[in-house]
Amino acid sequence: MTEHTGEEGRIGPDGEPAPRTEEEYAQSQLTLRAIVSSKEAGVIIGKAGKNVADLRDETGVKAGVSKVVQGVHDRVLSITGGLEGLSKAYAMVAKGLLEGAPQMGMGGVISSNGTHPIRLLISHNQMGTIIGRQGLKIKHIQDASGVRMVAQKEMLPQSTERIVEVQGTPEGIQKAVWEIGKCLVDDRQRGTGTVLYNPAVRAQVGGGPLSNGANAGYGAVTRGFNRTGNGADFSDAPTGSFNRRSNSDSTGRPPAADDGEEIQTQNISIPADMVGCIIGRGGSKISEIRKSSGARISIAKAPHDETGERMFTIMGSASSNEKALYLLYENLEAEKMRRSQFPPE
C-alpha cells in the first residue's frame, strides 16, 4: 500500500510539503465507504454477485457490502483500492443505481435531473479538509465535477463519521470522488482512530432505549492489545474491572475480561473544549462511565495533534466498549444541547 512508501512528509525546495503528482494520487491506497439502503445494496451486488464482481474486475478495487441486519435498513458499501480505481468504481455504482432504481421501486430517489445520490462516510476529523476555509474547497469540488454536495453537521450515532451526500451524474461523481480522495490522502493522519459507523439494531443500554442507528465498528478499528501495558496509561482506571490474568496469561490466548470475552481496545478523539464535560468535577463523570460500562478508560494527558483534541482509550469486552462509547457520546450530545441553549456570552 502506497501510504507507507514515503509519500507522507516530502519537503519541497521552498521548505513546504511537496505536492503529490496526479500519478501518485492515482496510486494512493484508500478505503471509502458509503451508506446504501438494502434495495440499493441489492442493485450494487447484482444477481449471484455479478455486478460487484464486474466492478472489481473492471477497476481493480476490493468492494463489499455489509451483511443484512434484521430490522435495519442501512448497509455499508466499502471500496478499497488506488484512488483512480476507487473513483471509477463509485462512478460504476452511481450508474448501476441510476439504471437499477426503477426496477427496484426506487424511482423516487432519482432527482428531476436524472441523478442518484451517493452518501459517502467521511471521518469528522477530516471533514475540514474537504470543506476548506469558508467552504472554498467543497465549492471547488462541486464546480470541478458539476455535482451538488451536502455535508451533514452531526456525526452518525456512536461513530465519528459524518455523511457527505454527493448528487450528480456518474461522471460527475467520479470527478468528485477523485477530488475528495485527494483531500483524504493529504489528510490521512487525521483519519486515524475513526470510530466507524456500523448499522445495527440498538439494544437497551444504561436503562434507556436507543433508536435504530449504529454502534461503533469494532472489527475495523480495534487496536491490538499491548500485553506489557506500554503505550497507554491505565493508572487512573478502576481496579478489579478486569480479570487479573489478562496481562499474564501464559496460554497465548488473547486477554479476556471478567465475562470471558476477548478484550478489545478502541481509541476516540474528543474535542478539547469538550474534555472537561466528559471528565466532570473531580473526575466524577468519567468514573461513573467506567463503573457503568465495566471498561477501562484512559485519557491522554496532552493533545495528539494541532487540533487540540485528546485521545480517549477504551479497553474492555465488545459489550463493555459499546456501553462506554454510548455513555461518552450521550454526555457529548447533552453538552452540545446545553451549549446551544445557553451559548457563552
Decide the pairing of beta strands 62-65 and 197-200. Answer: unpaired
Residue 36 and residue 162 in one domain? yes
Claim to verify: residue 181 and residue 33 sit in the same structural domain: yes
Q: What is the pLDDT of residue 70?
A: 80
Whole-number Å distance between alpha carbons of 212 and 216: 13
Boundary of a domain, candidates 170, 192, 214: 192
Alpha carbon 57 to its chain centroid, in Å, reads 26
Report the distance separating Cα 4 and Cα 342, nearest Å.
Answer: 46
Whether 122 and 256 share a structural domain = no
Counting DSSP H helices and E strands in the chain, the numbers are 11, 11
Confirm whether 125 is domain-assigned. yes
CA–CA separation, 153 vs 130, rounded Å? 13
Domain C-terminal end among 174, 192, 210? 192
Residues of the chain with pLDDT under 70: 1-18, 101-114, 201-261, 304-307, 343-345
List, in order, residues 6 or more apart from 154 with CB less than 8 Å away. 162
Phi, psi of 110 (to 5 degrees): -75, 130
Q: Give the model's pLDDT for residue 140.
A: 95
Count the domains in the chain. Answer: 2
Are residues 323 and 235 part of one domain? yes
Cell of 120: 459517502
Residues 154, 214 contacting (CB under 8 angstroms) = no
Per-residue CA distances from 292 to 9, 90, 235, 252 (Å)? 43, 42, 19, 30
Buried/exposed code over 193-215 (b: 16+ C-beta within 10 A; e: otherwise): bbbbbbbbebeebeeeebeebbb
Residues 121 and 187 in one domain: yes
Q: Is residue 297 part of a domain?
A: yes
**pTM of the complete model beyond 0.85:** no
Give the pLDDT score at 243: 29
Q: What is the dihedral of CA 210, 213, 219, 223, to 10 degrees?
A: -70
What does the pLDDT read at residue 18? 62
> Is residue 262 a contact partner of residue 224, using CB atoms and an 8 Å limit?
no
Residues 261 and 302 in one domain: yes
What CATH number does the domain containing 310 carry? 3.30.1370.10
* pLDDT value for 208: 36
Asked whether residue 131 is assigned to any structural domain, the reply reads yes
Q: Are residues 249 and 151 in the same domain?
A: no
Which backbone phi and psi does 117 adopt, to 5 degrees?
A: -75, 145
Domain containing residue 164: 17-192
Q: Are 173 and 91 in contact (CB under 8 A)?
A: yes
Contacts of residue 317, Cβ cutoff 8 Å, sequence gap at least 6: 257, 259, 261, 262, 263, 264, 294, 295
Is residue 2, in this structure, part of any structural domain at all?
A: no
The DSSP result for 203-242, as a single string, is: --BTTB---SEEEE-HHHHPBPP-TT-TTS--TTSPTTSS
Q: What is the structure's pLDDT at 172?
A: 95
Determine, yes or no, domain membership for 210.
no
